[in-house]
Structure 1
Amino acid sequence: MVVTRAVPPGDAGAFFAVTALALMASGIAKLDAGNGLVYFVARAKTYDYLGISGYIRAALVPCVVASCLAAALLHAKLGPVAALLPVMVACDVLLAATRGFGSMRPTVLVDGVLVPFAQLVLVAAVCAAGAVSWLPLAWGAPYAPALVVAWTALRGRVPRTPYLPGTVRDLWRYTAPRSVAGAIQAVFQRLDIVIVALLAGPAQAAVYTAATRFKVVGQLVGQGLAQAVQPRLVTALAAGERARAAELYQAATAWLVLLTWPVWLAYAALAPWLLRLFGPSYGSAAPVALVLAGTMMVATACGMVDVVLTSAGHTGRSLLNLVAAITCTVALDVALIPAHGAFGAVLGWSGGVLVKNLLPLWQLHRRYGLHPFGRHTLPALRGSAATWRTAAKQSVPATEPPHGVRP
C-alpha cells in the first residue's frame, strides 16, 4: 500500500516484478532443504539428535552455493538485491532447523516480526525520500540481521555429535524430489506477476499485485499451522499412528477454515472499497478479488494437504502434483492475460491452485483414507459464520457517505 500510493503504477509494477523474481530465485535455491531438515531433525529426536549437525551442514552448503550462482546469473535484473539471495536462503534453512527441534519462536520472531516490520519501515522511508531506485534494496536489507538472529537461535540447540556416514545421501535422497517441487512452488507463487508484467505491462502487474496481496493472509495462517504441525505429522505417520495423523490434519483444517474464511468473505464483500486504499486506479480490480476469495476458500477447506502427503514420504507424488498445477497456470495465463490482463492472470492462478489442492486430496483419501473433515469441521464452520456476521455488522456503514467523502 505504501508503494502503490507513493509511486506511479508503472514504477510500482516494476518494483513488484523485481521482488517477485528475487523470491522466485531464493525459493529455487533453497532446494526445499528446510523441509528435509524438519523431517530428519524431528525423527532424530528418538536417538538424542545423533549426527544432526551433519544433516544441517549437508543441507546448508548446497543451498548457499546454489544461491550464489543464482545471484551471479540474475545480477543484471535484480541489481543490489542479488547479493542478498544467499543471505535469504541461509536464513530460511537455519530457521527450518529450529522448527525441527520443536521451537516455533525463532520463526515467529524473524519471519513474523523482524523482516516484515523492517521492510515496511525502510520502504516507507525510501518512498518518503522519493528515491524510487532504492526500493528493492530497502526491501531486501532486513534479511541480513535476520540471518544473525536465525544463526544465534539454532546454535544453542545443536548438540555436538559425530558425523554419521551416509548423512548427505540420506538427506538428499529424501529431499531431491522436494527440491524440484520447492523450485516449482516458488515459481508458482510469483510467476503470475512476472507474466503479467511481460504480457500486459507494469501497470497491470501493479493492479494484479495489489488485488492479490490479501492472499498473503491465508498463506501466512496456513504456513504457520503447517510449520507447527509438520513435525508431529512426521512422527505420527512414521509410527503408523494413522488415527493420530488424521486428528492432526482435521484439527489444523478446522483452524484454517475458522481463521481465514471470515477474511475471504469480508474481502469479497468489501473489495471495491478496500482496493481503492491502494489508489484510485486500483478499484477496477474487484473481479480479481472475487475470484481470489472463492479460490482461497476452496483451498483452505482442503487443509494443508500437500504437507500431509510429504510427511507420509510421498515427495515424488507431490512433485508431479506441482508440475500439473504450474502447467495449468502457465497455459491459462498465456491464453487469457493478453486479452484480459489482471483478471486473466487470476483465472490462471485459480486453476493452478485448484489442481494443487484437489489432486493430493484425492491421493490421500485413496491411499490412507485421510480427509480434512471430522468432528471439528461443523463447529469451525459455525464459528466462521458467526465471526463473519459480526464483522459485517461492524464493518459496513448503515448509510452511504456523502458524495465526495471517502469512507
Structure 2
Amino acid sequence: MAALTSTRLPRLTGVARGGLAGLMGAGIGATAQFGVVVLVTRGTGQEAAGTFFTATALCLMAGGILRMDAGNGLIYFIARSRPFGYRCTRGYVRAALVPVAILSLLVGAAAALAAPDPTVRVLAAALPVMVCADIVVAATRGSGAMRPTVLLDGMLQPVTQLVLIGAVVLTGAESVPLLAAAWALPSLPVLVLSVLWLRRRLPYTHHLPGTAHDFWRYTWPRSMAAAIQAVFQRFDIVVVAVLAGPVEAAVYTAATRFKVVGQLVNQGLAQAVQPRLVRALAGGDLARSRELYQSATMWLVLLTWPIWLGYAVLAPWLLDLFGGDYASGVPVALVLAVTMMLATACGMADVVLTSAGHTGSSLANLVAAIAVTVALDVALVPACGALGAALGWAGGMLVKNLLPLWLIHRRYGLRPFGVHSLAALTSWRVR
C-alpha cells in the first residue's frame, strides 16, 4: 500500500500544482472582471453600460468564431508530441496561426471600414490581436507550462483592463469607444510576450508535409463547436439588448457577472488537466483518466458551490454594488446560482469528450444546447426580459453538460464522482 501511495501521489500532485496555478490566475481574473463591471455600471449610465456590454459581447463572440478552436487543437498535438521531443510542433503552430490570422485580419478590416459606430471600429481593429493572443497562450499550455497562462491571460490582461477602464471612468467621460479601447488594448502585450515565450520553449523544426492537414482534420469539428460555444456564452446579452433594450442588457450583465467566477475556476482546472487527459486517453489509460476527471470534479464542486450558495443568499446586497437601479436582477441571480451548481456537479465532461478525440459529438451537443437557448430566449425574453434570458441560458447550460456526461459514461464508464473523489483531497494536502 505504501508503494502504491508513493507512485500515485506525485502524479496527482502535478495536477494539483497546475490546478492551483490555474485557479490563482482565474481568481485574479474573475476579481478584475467583476471590478470592470462595477466601474462601468457605477461610472456610466445604464444606456452607456448596456451598449458597452453588448459591444464587447459581440466582439468576444466574433473572436470565439474566428479562433476556430485552434488553441485547443495545439494543446492536443503539442501534448501528444511531448514524449517525442516536440517534433513538428512549430509546424503545427504555423498551421494553426496562419489561416486564423489572415481570416481575423480580413474580418476586422471589413468591420472597421463598414461600421459607422466608432466603438465597433475600435473593437474591429483589436480583433486580430485578441484572437492570435488567445491561440498562442493556449499553445504554451500544450507544452505543459501553466506560467504564461497564469501571468499573462490570468493576471496581466484583466488587471490592465481594470486599470485602464478605471482611468477612463475617473475622467468623467461616458465614452463607450474609449472604454472599448481600454478593454481591448491589453491583448497586445499578451500576444507579444506569449510569442517570445513560445519561441524559446519549442525547438526549431522543419515543416513536414501533412502537418496542416492533420491539424485541421482533428480541429475542424471543434472549430464549429467553438463558434457555437462562443455564441452560447454571450448570446443572451445580445438577445436581451435587441429584444428588451440596452438598459435590460445592463441589468442582465450585472446580475450574471458572477457567472464568470465559475467559468474561470473551471477554466483554471481544465487548463491544467486537459494535456494530461489527452495523454492518458491517447494511451488507453482509463484508470488515469478516471482519476483526473473525478479529482478535478471534486475540487470544482468544493471551490464553486460555496460561491453560488453565497451569491443566492446575498444577491440583493451584492447587486447594490452596481447601483440601486440593478436590484431587479435578483431573480436572475437565483437562476444563475442553481444552474451553475448543477453544471459544476457534471465536472469537465466536455473536456474529457474532446480529449478523447470525439470532437464531432461535442459539436452535436453544443448545437443542441444553442438550439434550446435560442428557442427559450425567443419565447421568454419579450415577456420576461432579463429573467427570460436567464431561463433560456439555464436550459441550454443543462443540455450542454448533461449530454457529454452521458456520452463519456456510455463509452468509457467515467463518472464525475467515485473512489478518486475523496482521494483527491488527500493528494492535494500531502505534497
TM-score above 0.5, yes or no: yes
Q: 1:352 aligns with which of 373, 384, 396?
A: 396
Match of 1:89 in 2: 131
Letter in 2 for 1:118: T
Q: Report the counterpart of residue 388 of structure 1 in structure 2.
A: none
Q: Which position in structure 1 is the counterpart of 2:16?
A: none
Alignment counterpart, residue 313 of structure 1, candidates 357, 374, 378: 357
The whole-number CA distance in structure 1 between the counterparts of 2:326 and 2:423 is 37
Offset of residue 378 of structure 1: 6.1
Equivalent residue for 1:172? 216
Cα displacement string for residues 181-236 of structure 1 (whole angstroms, at most 9, x for unaligned residues): 00111111111101100000000000000000001110011001111000100000
Answer whether contact 1:50 1:162 (CA < 8 A) is retained.
no
Say which SS state the counterpart of residue 201 (structure 2) adopts. Answer: coil
Residue number in structure 2 paired with 1:148: 192
- 153, 158, 175: which one aligns with 1:111: 153
Structure 1, unmatched stretches of 5+, are 382-407
Q: CA deviation at 1:379?
A: 8.3
**Alpha-carbon contact 1:192-1:333 (below 8 Å) kept:** yes
Superposition TM-score, scaled by structure 1 size: 0.92
The CA distance in 2 between the partners of 1:289 and 1:380, in whole Å, is: 31
Q: CA deviation at 1:132?
A: 2.4
Match of 1:135 in 2: 179
- Contact residue 257 and residue 380 of structure 1 kept, 8 A: no
Equivalents in 1 of 2:324, 2:107: separation in Å? Answer: 37
Counterpart of 2:91 in structure 1 is: 54
TM-score (structure 2 length as normaliser) = 0.87
Contact 2:228/2:367, CA 8 A, preserved across alignment: yes
Q: Is 1:42 the equivalent of 2:105?
A: no
SS state at 1:74 partner: helix
SS class of match (2:416)? coil
- Given candidates 256, 277, 280, the residue that maps to 1:236 is 280
Specify which structure has the bigger relative contact order, considering alpha-carbon pairs within 8 angstroms and separated by 6 or more residues.
Answer: 2
Aligned to 1:203: 247
Label 1:171 to 1:10 Cα distance change in 2 as closer, same or farther (>3 A).
same
Q: Name the counterpart of 1:251.
A: 295
**Which amino acid is the alignment partner of residue 70 of structure 1?**
V
Name the residue aligned to 1:324: 368
Q: Write out per-residue CA displacement over residues 44-66 of structure 1, whole angstroms, 9 at most, x where no aligned residue.
A: 11221111110000000111112
Give, in whole Å, the separation in 2 of the partners of 1:198 and 1:236: 45
Count of residues in Structure 1 that have an aligned counterpart in Structure 2? 381
- Per-residue deviation, 1:380: 8.5
SS of 2:419 mapped into structure 1: coil
The Cα RMSD (Å) is 1.2
In 2, Cα distance between the equivalents of 1:118 and 1:24? 21
Displacement of 1:155: 1.2
How far apart are residue 268 of structure 1 and its match?
A: 0.3
1:221 alignment partner in structure 2: 265
The partner residue of 1:181 within 210, 216, 225 is 225
Q: 1:392 corresponds to which residue?
A: none
CA contact (8 A) 2:295 2:423 kept: no
Tell me, in whole angstroms, the C-alpha distance in 2 between the residues paired with 1:40 and 1:322.
Answer: 23
Matched position secondary structure for 1:20? helix
1:152 to partner: Cα distance: 1.4
Distance in 2, matches of 1:263 and 1:168, equals: 43
Aligned to 2:141: 99
Contact 1:25 1:70 in 2 (8 A): no
Change beyond 3 A, Cα 1:256–1:140: same
Unmatched 5+ residue regions in structure 2?
Answer: 1-37, 426-431
CA contact (8 A) 1:181 1:318 kept: yes
Q: Comparing 369-378 with 258-267, which one deviates more in the overlay?
A: 369-378
Matched AA of 1:100: G
Instruction: Quote the offset at 1:130 in angstroms.
Output: 2.3
- Which residue identity lines up with residue 288 of structure 1 in the other structure? V
Whether the 8 Å contact between 1:212 and 1:289 is mirrored in structure 2 is yes
Quote the Cα distance in structure 2 between the aligned partners of 1:96 and 1:143: 14
Q: Distance in 1 between matches of 2:186 and 2:173?
A: 18
Q: Is the 8 A contact 1:95 1:106 kept in 2?
A: yes
Letter in 1 for 2:101: V
Q: Distance in 1 between matches of 2:423 and 2:200?
A: 41
Question: C-alpha offsets along residues 347-394 of structure 1, whole Å, 9 cap, x if unaligned?
Answer: 00000000000001011111110110113546889xxxxxxxxxxxxx
Residue 102 of structure 2 is matched in structure 1 by 65
Q: Distance in 2 between matches of 1:183 and 1:66?
A: 14
Amino acid at match of 2:293: Y
Q: Percent identity?
A: 66
Structure 2 Cα separation of the partners of residues 218 and 5 of structure 1: 24
Instruction: Give the match for residue 124 of structure 1.
Output: 166
1:28 aligned partner: 65
CA contact (8 A) 1:114 1:146 kept: yes
CA distance in 2, matches of 1:251, 1:289: 28
| Structure-2 change in CA distance of 1:379 and 1:202 (3 Å) | farther
Would the aligned equivalents of 1:71 and 1:82 in 2 still touch at CA under 8 Å? yes
Residue 387 of structure 1 corresponds to none
Q: CA deviation at 1:73?
A: 3.8
Q: Secondary structure at the match of 1:2?
A: helix
